[in-house]
Amino acid sequence: MKAHRIEKTLTEDGILIIKDLPFQAGEAVEIIIIETQARPQEANLYPLHGKQLYRYDDPFEPAVPLEDWEVLQ
């Protein structure tokens, strides 16, 4: 079984025209039409752009000094 996927936008109510399908005349095909979810057009691709910058002088040092850990006492 061959499958072929096409996304189209209807230009008129109730009318859909599909051309250039990869099937030959006489072949039986099944057509299933599923409405796609609307993609957000205004999605922010850079959500941190323009936000406050943070600086980590030593990011691998523990935030709590080692002598304050009860486990190490």
What's the maximum distance between 2 C-alpha atoms anywhere in the chain?
A: 83
Region 32-56 average pLDDT: 82
Strand locations in the chain (E): none
Comparison of pLDDT for 68 and 26, the residue scoring more: 26
State pTM to two decimals.
0.43
**Residue pair 72/66 in contact by the 8 Å Cβ criterion:** yes
Q: How confident is the model at residue 25 (pLDDT cuts 50, 70, 90)?
A: very high
Secondary structure of residue 71 in the 3-state scheme? helix
Structure confidence by residue, pLDDT tens digits, 2-15 = 888 888 888 889 89
Boundaries of every domain in the chain: 1-34
- What is the DSSP code (8-state) at residue 53? P
CA distance 4 to 50: 43
